A and B are shown apart, each in its own frame.
Chain A
Amino acid sequence: MAHESASASPVRFDSVTKRYPGAETVAVEELSFEVPAGEICVLVGPSGCGKTTALRMVNRTVEMTSGDITIGGRSVKDGDPARLRREIGYVIQQIGLFPHRTIAENIGTVPSLLGWDKERIRKRSAELLELIGLDPEYGDRYPAQLSGGQQQRVGVARALAVDPTVMLMDEPFGAIDPINRSRLQNEFLRLQAELKKTVLFVTHDVDEAIKMGDRVAVLKKGGKLAQFATPTELLMEPADEFVEDFVGADRALKRLALMRIRDVRLWKAPVARAGDPCEPVREAVAAAEVPHALLVDGENRPLGWLSDRDLSRERVPVIPDSSAELLDADSVLRDGLAYLLQSGSLYAPVIDPRGRLLGVLSVEIISDFLASDEASESELTAAERPHD
């Protein structure tokens, strides 16, 4: 979908400090880093490290004690906080949709504050609903009628309504169950690939930080910046013991969060359509990397594995549709491994966004990847590419 978006702005922290009156320790201390336009910067650290405070100083829901934050060169301290906030997208953990307004009205909140006319708001709401993957009829429903995951997507849509140049997200997926969290993360990354906003994202989960961030700012207690780097650098060259501990001993496995499934060489499995003669398929199975055949439809979409019994007939039969157990090529290797281990399968078909077969992933592919020298090189290359 052709989508026009305002350019994103870089965000820069300049020795930002926050001291609460009467408190002994400083909440945020001399925080300095720069987020290039169009990138996701994840602020991560243990509880009490000031990451949320730092985020909230960008839209002045918390006022900084000293230092400055600039968006596209302009200090956030210029002008009225409410006006500033209308230009910044804001997504919080508990979502905070207005229960008394419909979904469409919720999305249209800031446009309405800015005085857009009704028709323009309506169109924009519809546009955003489509963007986040909800049917247009959801526009007339109330938040109470939506699931948690759907509500959070609406929260993101609401933040995007006036096409802000900066987005602030405070543990946005924290209240969602792990299964849907992964899906929402993938969806947001796909969205970001299209929109390319500057995003500041807070989380306490280092795995989420590595998966989502183009850059990661690790904060330690007392609001001090421990390291500001790309996820790869974080994993391969942690700045000190704190970062090393925080990232976790399973750094190697965490590297799996950096690679997409589509980035590795997938194995080929023989494919067959219902009604094809079985003899050639049996021969292909004997010779292939993956010793099982996949039933596909006319569009090359996998429908399920064909067993030896299925292939023992004259013609390929129709089998029950098990197309739910497929891997999205945009998922990270870590999710792929998790799926394979959980389901106890050796192989899982990988599909593109349209559902068409790209290849098959196996545990061996992943372990080879971890072991190979090529791996570090391709990781670094992948890190330089924006997430797409």
Chain B
Amino acid sequence: MTDVLAAVDESFFTDRSGGSCIQDNKLFCPGWVADNYDRYVEPTLQHLVLVGSAVAAGFLIAFALAILAHRHRFLSTPFLAGTGVLYTIPSISFFFLLLPVTGRGALTAIIALTAFNLQIIFRNITTGLRNVPSEVTEAATGIGMTRSQILWRVELPLAMPEIIAGLRIATVSTVALATLAVFANGGGLGTEIVTGSNITFKTGIIVAGSIAVAMAILFDGVLLLIGKLLAPWKRVAA
């Protein structure tokens, strides 16, 4: 077991503000942050790639599953159960279950994060489709739309708010979870939390954690806006 209580690494001693903030490993050293913020650039970018890929892949797969389950209702339960299992297995465990297959690296992390996302997104797409009022689909059928036209022109647009809500939840959760990617050698902000052989550098943890939270809030906000743009009819009061 690595000694977690080791003293702060020598590599952190670039702090021109003077003083003993770093040496004493105080909670937060602004001076150090000012001098060293560039070390966070690459982990942040890696983190973005991890999250972006996982959510995109999760959405594509969940979308395909949801459309299938919408067409063939009996598939709902098995799909829900399957994605549920993937959701329940802790990501860190997932990283290493994939070990024999994809080894270590960003790909492993992305696969695990995608698996985590599936159920949330699948569930929301399915609920969104199911919540389309039956009289709307009845009218659409009656005036001569084909099944496929109804799906793409009526049901999916109307399900959009629910789908976006699911994407928001998935994205925020994935940003938080992707900090664990460091254990799979996948990079990301986790590398600045578990730095080298110890995890006691408080300032580093706070900065990395804050970037992650800020990223989550940013993504959430962007998706919220996109949701509003895609659903103009929801904005008008009845």
Contacts and interface: CB of A to CB of B under 8 A. Distances in A.
B180 to A, nearest CB: 39
Given A96-B136, A99-B136, A144 B142 contact: no
B158 A100 contact: yes
B144 A97 contact: no
Contact of A96 (B135, B144, B232, B237): B135
Nearest to B157: A100
A347 interface: no
B145 interface: yes
B141 A110 contact: no
Interface stretch (A38-46, A80-88, A253-261, A351-359): A80-88
B143 A110 contact: yes
A225 B143 CA distance: 27
A78 to B, nearest CB: 15
A44 B232 CA distance: 40
A206 interface: no
Contacts of B232: 142
A7 interface: no
Contacts of B144: 82-88, 110, 113
A118 interface: no
Query: Chain A: interface secondary structure?
Result: mixed
Interface in A98-126: 98-101, 109-110, 113
Given A92-B135, A92-B138, A144 B143 contact: no
A87 B133 CA distance: 24
Interface residues of B, number: 23
A327 B144 CA distance: 40
B142 A95 contact: no
A268 to B, nearest CB: 48
Contacts of B169: none
Contacts of B224: none
A95 B139 contact: yes
Nearest to A175: B135
A310 B149 CA distance: 66
B74 interface: no
Nearest to A143: B233
Contact of B142 (A90, A98, A99): A90
A212 to B, nearest CB: 20
A59 interface: yes
B41 interface: no
Contact of B139 (A87, A92, A142, A145): A92
Nearest to A168: B142
A98 B136 CA distance: 6
Contacts of B154: 98, 100
A142 B236 contact: yes
Interface of A: 59, 61, 82-88, 90, 92, 94-101, 109-110, 113, 141-145, 155, 158-159, 168
Interface of B: 133, 135-146, 149, 154, 157-158, 231-233, 236-238
Give the top 3 A-B pairs by smallest Cβ distance, nearest first. Answer: A96-B139, A86-B144, A85-B144
6 contacts: A61-B141, A90-B143, A92-B139, A98-B140, A109-B143, A168-B142
Given A85-B141, A144-B238, 17 more contacts: A59-B142, A61-B142, A82-B144, A85-B143, A87-B144, A95-B135, A96-B138, A96-B139, A98-B154, A100-B158, A100-B231, A110-B143, A113-B144, A141-B236, A142-B236, A155-B139, A168-B142
